[in-house]
Structure 1
Amino acid sequence: MNIGVDIGGTNLRAGIESGGSITWQNKTLLENKHSLPSTLNQLMELIRPFTKYPVKGIGIGVPSVVDVSKGIVYNVMNIPSWEEVALRDIVQNEFNLPVSINNDVNCFILGEHRFGLARKYSSVVGMAIGTGLGSGIIINNQLYTGRNCGAGEIGMLPYKDSILENYVCNRFFESSLGMGAFDAHVAARNGNKKAIKVWKDFGVHLGAVVKAIMYTYDPEAIVLGGSIAKANRFFQESMLHSLKDFAYPESLRKLTLLLSENENIALLGAAALLDD
Structure 2
Amino acid sequence: MEQWLAGIDLGGTTIKMAFVTLDGDIVHKWEIPTNKAERGAHIVADIVRSLRERQDQAGGGNGRLLAIGIGAPGPVQEESGMLYETVNLGWTNYPLKQELEAATGLPVAVDNDANIAALGEMWKGAGGGARHLLFVTLGTGVGGGVIANGAIVRGTNGAGGEIGHMTMIPEGGAPCNCGKTGCLETIASATGIVRIASEKLAVAKRPSVLHGGDISAKAVFDAAKAGDPLAVEVVDEVTRYLGLALANAADVVNPQKIVIGGGVSRAGDILVERVAHHFCRFAFPRVAAGAEVVLATLGNDAGVIGGAWLAKTLIEG
TM-score under structure 1 normalisation? 0.89
Q: Determine helix, strand or coil for the equivalent of 1:275.
A: helix
CA shift, 1:184, in A, is 3.6
Question: Does 2:101 correspond to 1:92?
Answer: yes
CA shift, 1:188, in A, is 4.9
CA shift, 1:33, in A, is 4.6
The equivalent position to 2:236 in structure 1, one of 179, 197, 200, is 200
The equivalent position to 2:260 in structure 1, one of 224, 227, 244, is 224
| 1:36 counterpart residue number | 40
The equivalent position to 1:20 in structure 2, one of 24, 32, 41, is 24
More divergent stretch after superposition (31-40 vs 85-94): 31-40
Q: Determine helix, strand or coil for the equivalent of 2:86.
A: coil
Q: Determine helix, strand or coil for the equivalent of 2:160.
A: coil
The equivalent position to 2:275 in structure 1, one of 230, 239, 253, is 239
* Paired letter, 1:273: L
* Paired letter, 1:246: F
**Larger Rg belongs to:** 2
More divergent stretch after superposition (112-121 vs 133-142): 112-121
Question: Does 2:127 correspond to 1:118?
Answer: yes
Question: Does 2:278 correspond to 1:275?
Answer: no
CA shift, 1:34, in A, is 5.0
| Contact 1:72 1:86 survives alignment (8 Å) | yes
| 2:206 counterpart residue number | none
Question: Does 2:148 correspond to 1:139?
Answer: yes
CA shift, 1:73, in A, is 0.9
| Contact 2:251 2:283 survives alignment (8 Å) | no
Gaps of 5+ in 1: none
| 1:62 counterpart residue number | 72
CA shift, 1:26, in A, is 0.9
Compared CA separation, residues 31 and 182, structure 1 to 2 (3 A): farther
Q: Determine helix, strand or coil for the equivalent of 1:59.
A: strand
| Contact 2:251 2:284 survives alignment (8 Å) | no
How many residues were matched structurally? Answer: 275
CA deviations 1:218-239 (Å, max 9, x no partner) are 1111111111111133333432
CA shift, 1:128, in A, is 1.3
Q: Determine helix, strand or coil for the equivalent of 2:91.
A: coil
**Residues of 2 paired with 1:42 and 1:186: CA distance?**
40
More divergent stretch after superposition (161-170 vs 38-47): 38-47
* Paired letter, 1:47: L
CA shift, 1:192, in A, is 5.3
* Paired letter, 2:49: E
Q: Determine helix, strand or coil for the equivalent of 2:65.
A: coil
Compared CA separation, residues 182 and 34, structure 1 to 2 (3 A): farther
| 1:83 counterpart residue number | 92
| Contact 1:155 1:163 survives alignment (8 Å) | yes
TM-score under structure 2 normalisation? 0.79
CA deviations 1:66-92 (Å, max 9, x no partner) are 11211211221422x212211111111
| Contact 2:121 2:297 survives alignment (8 Å) | no
CA RMSD of aligned residues (A): 2.2
| 2:168 counterpart residue number | 159
Q: Determine helix, strand or coil for the equivalent of 1:57.
A: strand
Compared CA separation, residues 137 and 241, structure 1 to 2 (3 A): closer
| Contact 1:129 1:224 survives alignment (8 Å) | yes
Q: Determine helix, strand or coil for the equivalent of 1:70.
A: coil
Identity of aligned residues (%): 24
The equivalent position to 2:196 in structure 1, one of 153, 176, 186, is 176
| 1:255 counterpart residue number | 291
Q: Determine helix, strand or coil for the equivalent of 2:109.
A: strand
**Residues of 2 paired with 1:126 and 1:199: CA distance?**
20
